[in-house]
Amino acid sequence: MKRNLLSIMDLGGEEIHSLLGRAMELKAMQKEGIGHHPLAGKTLGMIFEKSSTRTRVSFEVGAFQLGGNALFLSPRDTQIGRGEPIADTARVLSRYLDGIMIRTYSQKILEEFAEYATVPVINGLSDLLHPCQVLTDLLTVKEKFGNLENRKIAWIGDGNNMANSWINAARRIGFELVLACPKGHKPDEKILAMALKEDKANISVVEDPAEAATGSDVINTDVWTSMGQEDEYEERKKVFAAYQVNNELLSHASGNAIVLHCLPAHRDEEITHEVIEGPNSAIFDQAENRLHLQKAVMELLMKNKQEHGSY
């Protein structure tokens, strides 16, 4: 039976730990020049409704490093852009491909595609969730600190798809998560409510960024204006002005805290140039880890059942 990765909630807690461990192994193998080709003869289709640098390059290079191939598909250049039904596209592409990654606006489109696809579907980003990025962030935290449990993670800024996926990660792993978001820009109410029902979840939402940052091991932020929100740019600059990640905010964190940003960053807007280039920044290690985390995801979902057991 095929599996999808549409949300971090598609993985169990132990499975997340296993996935992160495998990503670290794959990273070490790559550094040591050890070849590993479980996707030989396989092709990943990559559908991009939203533009991307890191998502496209990391999936494409990752598929190549695993011995497979990756195929870029733009709605502009396919029948998707001319209104072909999602279900038809999913069923046809499943006959050609061994896995499909989609970077899109609507989580509903992603879920409909996965319903009709007969090969694994990976969420490369939707307006609601960004699971591969947050799994990458967990990998970076584990690399820097050795563990995830008993860590305090601070999310500063917009309650967007990244914030929602951090909430799901906290549900699964059990670390402390404090999100500082302004009024009107909180995380998704349903996702937060589901998380707060669970005893394991140690999650709170505040408005004061210093409160979230105090004693934190990780300070994490994202742009104030995501793709598709460009007409809100000026208003958002005013609303989020107090949520900039700068040295003053960082001074509230623990001494060895790391700073994460999924990039692209608007320097001196949501995060200062000094913090990005400063000693606490793990941002470029984080960017590199997209490659290795997604290799672990593709290996998990696309490997041969005959060779590796059931999905």
Instruction: State the catalytic residues.
Output: 103, 130, 133, 222, 262, 290
176-180/202-206 β-pairing:
parallel
DSSP annotation of 245 reads B
What lies within 8 Å, CB to CB, of 81 at 6+ separation is 74, 75
Distance CA 59, CA 306 (A): 24
The position carrying tokens 């906290």 is 170
The position carrying tokens 């409704």 is 49
Is the C-alpha dihedral spanning 105, 159, 218, 129 positive or negative?
negative
In this structure, are residues 257 and 153 in contact, taking their beta carbons and an 8 Å threshold? no
Q: N- to C-terminal Cα distance for the chain?
A: 6
